[in-house]
């Protein structure tokens, strides 16, 4: 995971192509309200951008999951 310093966005890389939005929501929603969970699929891997409503929630999830 990587986190943007300006907002509550987290980048999650090296995901399986089989990863679904709901999978990531299940992992990250316990840390705070999500505004967006956007998965981009490549030929072999996927990556996602997860936006939290509150930057502090993103920081906590980053520390725990990062």
Q: What is the CATH number of the domain that holds 12?
A: 3.30.70.330
**Cβ atoms of residues 35 and 2 within 8 Å:** no
pLDDT band at 7 (very low <50, low <70, confident <90, very high): confident
Count: domains in the chain: 1
Confidence of residue 3 (pLDDT cuts 50, 70, 90): confident
> Alpha-carbon torsion 17, 20, 21, 27, what sign?
negative
Picking from 1-5, 21-25, 58-62, which range would have the lowest pLDDT averaged per residue? 1-5
1: Cβ contacts below 8 Å, ≥ 6 apart: 10, 11, 12, 13, 62, 65, 66
Task: Say if CB 1 and CB 62 are below 8 A apart.
Answer: yes
Q: What range does the domain containing 42 cover?
A: 2-65
In this predicted model, what pLDDT tens digit does every residue of 8-51 receive, in sequence order?
999 999 999 999 999 999 999 999 999 999 999 999 999 999 99
Contact 39, 12 (CB under 8 A): no
């Amino acid at each position: 995971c990587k986190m943007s310093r300006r907002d509550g966005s987290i980048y999650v890389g090296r995901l399986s192509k089989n990863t679904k939005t709901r999978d990531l929501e299940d992992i990250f929603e316990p840390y705070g309200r999500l505004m967006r969970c956007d998965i981009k699929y490549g030929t072999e891997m996927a990556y996602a951008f997860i936006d939290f409503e509150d930057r502090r929630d993103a920081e906590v999830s980053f520390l725990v999951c990062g």
